[in-house]
């Protein structure tokens, strides 16, 4: 089986509900998940800036758990490639460099305009919104995806969430199409 490799941009790791769903799916081996220490730094710093009540140590613990749980996830030694890359936002060049070095098929990001299709095509990489990425995973393996989401929902105990409540949270994360595609499978979540 040919397993795709996905690099997660910081903006899909920032919101906990989206991060939890992506991470649980990454553990299913439906795809290989990758990121960098810089991407971790980016989402952690953004959370601390926007939600100052958060504790850095708790976010760093989350980072460490992600790194330990996901096989071969950290991309390194991509920094020398950054200056040679051109993107609309130069601050995103590190993401593309990591995707190239990590031999990724797709960058999962909410900022598609920062990763022009023509530029990424030179490297055999695509950029996908997490809504589309998750839909594709569902089409490939509905049972695996539903099982992963059920596990995430089961961990949410304060307060416990009904399936409808959980799917509503995912929809608020910009995953409207994914939630619609899950409709026939709600009894499995």
Compute the average pLDDT of residues 91-110.
98
C-alpha distances in Å from residue 166, one per residue of 13, 37, 154: 18, 29, 10
Matching residue, tokens 């590190």: 94
pLDDT at 21: 97
Distance between CA atoms of residues 173 and 129, nearest Å: 11
pLDDT at 62: 97
Compute the average pLDDT of residues 166-189.
97
C-alpha distances in Å from residue 100, one per residue of 14, 93, 125, 170, 185: 22, 11, 8, 29, 35
Residue 151 has pLDDT above 80, yes or no: yes
Listed residues 129, 154, 170: the one ending a domain: 129
Parent domain of 11: 5-129
Compute the average pLDDT of residues 1-26.
93
Question: Do 109 and 143 fall within a single domain?
Answer: no
Matching residue, tokens 């976010």: 59
35-72: per-residue pLDDT in tens?
Answer: 999 999 999 999 999 999 999 999 999 999 999 999 99
Residue 1 has pLDDT above 60, yes or no: no
Work out the mean pLDDT of the chain and round it to a whole number.
Answer: 96
Indicate whether 48 belongs to any domain. Answer: yes
Question: Do 113 and 147 fall within a single domain?
Answer: no
Strand (E) or helix (H) holding 33: strand 32-34
pLDDT at 2: 58
Residue 87 has pLDDT above 90, yes or no: yes
Listed residues 129, 157, 172: the one ending a domain: 129
- Give the contacts of 146 (CB within 8 A, at least 6 positions apart): 182, 185, 188, 189
> What is the model's pTM?
0.95
Compute the average pLDDT of residues 174-187.
97
pLDDT at 127: 98
pLDDT at 3: 79
Question: Do 97 and 152 fall within a single domain?
Answer: no
The stretches of 113-162 forming alpha helices (DSSP H) are 117-121, 130-140, 142-155
Question: Do 107 and 166 fall within a single domain?
Answer: no
Question: Do 146 and 105 fall within a single domain?
Answer: no
Check if the beta carbon of residue 12 is closer than 8 Å to that of residue 22.
yes
């Amino acid at each position: 089986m040919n397993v795709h490799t996905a690099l997660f941009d910081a903006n899909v790791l920032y919101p906990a509900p989206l991060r939890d769903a992506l991470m649980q799916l990454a553990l299913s081996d439906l795809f290989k998940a990758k990121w960098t220490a810089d991407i971790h730094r980016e989402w952690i710093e953004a959370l601390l800036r926007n939600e100052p009540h958060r504790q850095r140590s708790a976010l760093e613990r989350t980072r460490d758990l992600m790194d330990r749980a996901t096989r071969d996830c950290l991309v390194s030694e991509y920094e020398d490639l950054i200056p040679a890359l051109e993107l609309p936002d130069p601050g995103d060049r590190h993401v593309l460099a990591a995707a190239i070095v990590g031999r990724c098929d797709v960058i999962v990001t909410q900022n598609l305009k920062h990763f022009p299709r023509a530029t990424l095509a030179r490297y055999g990489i695509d950029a996908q919104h997490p809504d589309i990425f998750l839909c594709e995973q569902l089409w490939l393996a509905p049972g695996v995806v539903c099982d992963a989401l059920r596990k995430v929902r089961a961990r949410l105990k304060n307060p416990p969430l009904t399936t409808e409540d959980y799917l509503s949270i995912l929809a608020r994360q910009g995953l409207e199409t994914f939630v619609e595609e899950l409709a026939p499978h709600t009894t499995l979540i």
